[in-house]
Amino acid sequence: MKDKNKIKDEYINDEDLKRYIDLSPEKKLEYLNEMNQFLNAAMPPENKKIAQKLREEGF
């Protein structure tokens, strides 16, 4: 059985989390926008259609 915390530990440590918590709301929104732009550019068209349908109809 997989350890649920294993994935988290590989990507996020306490120092990273503390730095994120200390960011201003504006900076957090800036990072969120950058991630959204990246995902939009990297996502295949078929996946974009599925994501849009989920946004419109819900999960």
Domain spans in the chain, listed from the N-terminal domain onward: 4-57
Q: What stretches of 1-59 show up as alpha helix (H) in DSSP?
A: 4-11, 14-22, 25-42, 45-57
**In this predicted model, what pLDDT tens digit does every residue of 8-49 receive, in sequence order?**
556 778 998 999 999 999 999 999 999 999 999 999 999 999
- 1 falls in which pLDDT band (50, 70, 90)? very low
User: What's the confidence (pLDDT) of residue 42?
Assistant: 95
- 3 falls in which pLDDT band (50, 70, 90)? low
42 near 34, Cβ under 8 Å?
A: no
